[in-house]
Structure 1
Amino acid sequence: LDDILRTSGDIFLAMTIGCARCHDHKIDPIPTKDYYSMLSFFANVSPHGKGKTNLVKVQGSKGNSQFSNQFEKWSRREKDLQRQINSFEEKFLVKLNQDLLLEKSSKIRNKPVVLLSDARAGGSSWNYSTEKPTDDWFEVGFDHSKWDSGKGGFGREGTPGSKVNTKWHTSGIWLRQNFRLAAIPKTLRVTLHHDEDVQVYLNGKLILERKGHVSKYETHDISKEASDALQTGKNVIAIHCQQTSGGQYVDLSMDSFDEAVDLAALIR
């Protein structure tokens, strides 16, 4: 709430109200008492959320009736617009695929573009925690700057098929890594070794989950799962691996191949 009040004061009142949180303001005539009185106005403000999580119904019989009618109209309008968008996207993708097929011979990349390397190629540097973080640990905006850092793979020496660069002996480990894209790749793959259960998130979306353990690196095509999560610029991949007994290990590499589709250039 302090952040909300500070922002409101700075933007709308041009006053540094936040200074009165701990003591009477030394410049503006704002005592600490008035700071907390104003803060109370924001007590029931909904935090940031995804989708329609911040949609609040109007209380009261009259208000609820008006809200229901308006919400129904809005829902119909939303569905109609979504149908139009889906139709546009379908036509766009058909035309796009036709254009790409014509130019495929000149655009195919025979070698994959490595975005993240695994331990077999030296390993990428990851931020990691062996203590359970907050529930939003896999979101793009999560701050992992205070986590430890180390090179993949993570695990116990002697685990079949492993190449340990950073030792991990606890029951769980959480990993985060940033990478950047200049354009959206058509095909995206991850090569994963896990012992045991593992979940992989891309920009906050769960794109891959596997149970149990494997004894070697396995490659997975995640193009479909990642298509609506990838973005140009900064991307965040987050991994959680859980271990119960025996060996333990987790490591991941990521690469893209085939033509890369620069959507920004196509739209222009």
Structure 2
Amino acid sequence: MPAADARSPHRLAVWGDPIAHSKSPALHAAAYRVLGLDWEYDRRRVSADDLPSALSGLDGSWRGLSLTMPLKEQAFRAAAVRDRHATLTGAVNTLLLDGGPAGFNTDVGGIVDALADDGMRAASTVRILGAGATAASALVAAAEIGAERAEIRARRPDRAAALVDLGGSLGVTVSVASFDSPPTPVDLTVATLPSGTSLPADVALPLAGGGGVLFDAAYAPWPSALAAVWSDAPVVSGLGMLLHQAIRQIRVFLHGDPAHVLDDEASVLAAMRAAL
């Protein structure tokens, strides 16, 4: 992938619907100040139906985009080439527009690193709440920290068929259940439900009782309804995922590679944490 000319200004943005709540502009602006880059990063409300026309309207000043819900699956289809995580999940949250567009999924690495920040580097059994694009990223992340079994809880269990197939390709045995099925103990619960989702008490409390560490992809409002009733195990908010997926996006925008560590990345991360 082409590296950016750091001497030239570039335009970037986060797109989604809704988007006003996004912390991505503050995170990226903090990083580019440390890196000494005169790059503009904004936000724009774009619906799933409007994504193709919005992409076609960009000129050569645009380097890349961050994509949030509900655009990740549409961005996957818009990408000419994709990295491994995007190919596995069918979801793209980063588009590099030079010579592409090239699609990346930095959410997987964001989840893995957010868990590691809180001391969780391995889990054998995982429960994932939800069956959308973030659930697919959570399943790949679970496989990367050693999960052998994963249970998907969904309002519509029929929507989880693709996750069962994905688990098979990753060597993870995946089962599917409704939210109100009796839970069994797990090492880790990953909630990928939309921000503000509140599960009924007769569903949330049993899940909390033996759910292990809770990683909740949501971060606003915080604590989430689920985090507020979690029992003795640690709770990790989605801010860590937001931070670590963003640092991978910046690697992509600067070097074309989510694994290419930035110069003085520790200082970049510190500035981004301060901006959260």
Q: What range is the shorter-chain TM-score in?
A: under 0.3
TM-score (normalised: structure 1): 0.21
Determine which structure has more spread, i.e. the larger CA radius of gyration. Answer: 1
TM-score (normalised: structure 2): 0.20
Q: Which has the higher helix share?
A: 2
